[in-house]
Amino acid sequence: METLIGKKAPVFSATAVVNGHEIVENFSLQQYIGKKDVVFFFYPLDFTFVCPTELLAFQEKLTEFEKRDVAVVACSIDSEFSHFAWLNLDKNKGGIKGVKYPVVADLSKTIAANYGVLAGEYGIDEETGQETFTGDAVAYRGLFLIDKEGKIRHSVINDLPLGRSVDEALRMVDALHHFEEYGEVCPANWKEGDEAMKADADGVADYLSKH
């Protein structure tokens, strides 16, 4: 599959639930261009098992993203009405009440397909000529870090059973911001406060000699 890294994030306009209770039509990531970086992540379905742990974990760290001037946006193939119901269901009943960042409805599955995270593919039955779908009609656990220019700088895609690390998403935000501010590249396992290095042979040699 062709990577989206280094390319403009696919543009979409869709309905989303914002602040946990407000249904907004024509929601788009374009509103953040020139203003904020975006962590845009997909999850398979509302009212499932691993998914609420992820959405609640992002909410728990939302202030950390906001301190870094980063918007968090989620998306699944459920409708806005399903999102609304889940967002207003208490945690002890399997809900995600308290999640405030936008949750996008991708009922047509076109957003997931354009981002390359749809867990299946459409085709045509040769005998009937009818459209078919092979696989699971949900999104893999894809995450995309989109910079202020609308370019995708980082992505990770997990299979359905494998939950993501919110701390890793924050680490990648910090690495991008460090590079943008200082022009230094971030080595393996780098985290905010660690030494980075200059992107040349001398810089690499100097870094490796110290570690």
What domains, with CATH codes, occur in the chain? 14-162 (3.40.30.10), 165-211 (no CATH)
What pLDDT, on a 0 to 100 scale, did the predictor assign at position 204?
Answer: 65
d(CA 61, CA 140) in angstroms, rounded, equals 22
Residue 203: CB atoms within 10 A of its CB come to 14
Strands 103-105, 14-18: pairing is antiparallel
d(CA 17, CA 43) in angstroms, rounded, equals 15
| Residue segments in the chain with a per-residue pLDDT below the cut of 50 | none
d(CA 15, CA 84) in angstroms, rounded, equals 11
What pLDDT, on a 0 to 100 scale, did the predictor assign at position 145?
Answer: 98
d(CA 80, CA 152) in angstroms, rounded, equals 26
What pLDDT, on a 0 to 100 scale, did the predictor assign at position 183?
Answer: 93
What pLDDT, on a 0 to 100 scale, did the predictor assign at position 1?
Answer: 59
- DSSP label at 19? T
What pLDDT, on a 0 to 100 scale, did the predictor assign at position 120?
Answer: 83
d(CA 128, CA 92) in angstroms, rounded, equals 47
Closest by CA position to 139, among listed 173, 166, 167, 114: 114
d(CA 42, CA 109) in angstroms, rounded, equals 11
What pLDDT, on a 0 to 100 scale, did the predictor assign at position 72?
Answer: 98
Which active-site residues does the annotation give? 51
Residue 96: CB atoms within 10 A of its CB come to 25
d(CA 151, CA 40) in angstroms, rounded, equals 12
Strands 141-146, 70-76: pairing is unpaired
The token pair that represents 61 in the structure block: 């760290």
Question: CB–CB of 155/164 below 8 Å?
Answer: no
What pLDDT, on a 0 to 100 scale, did the predictor assign at position 131?
Answer: 81
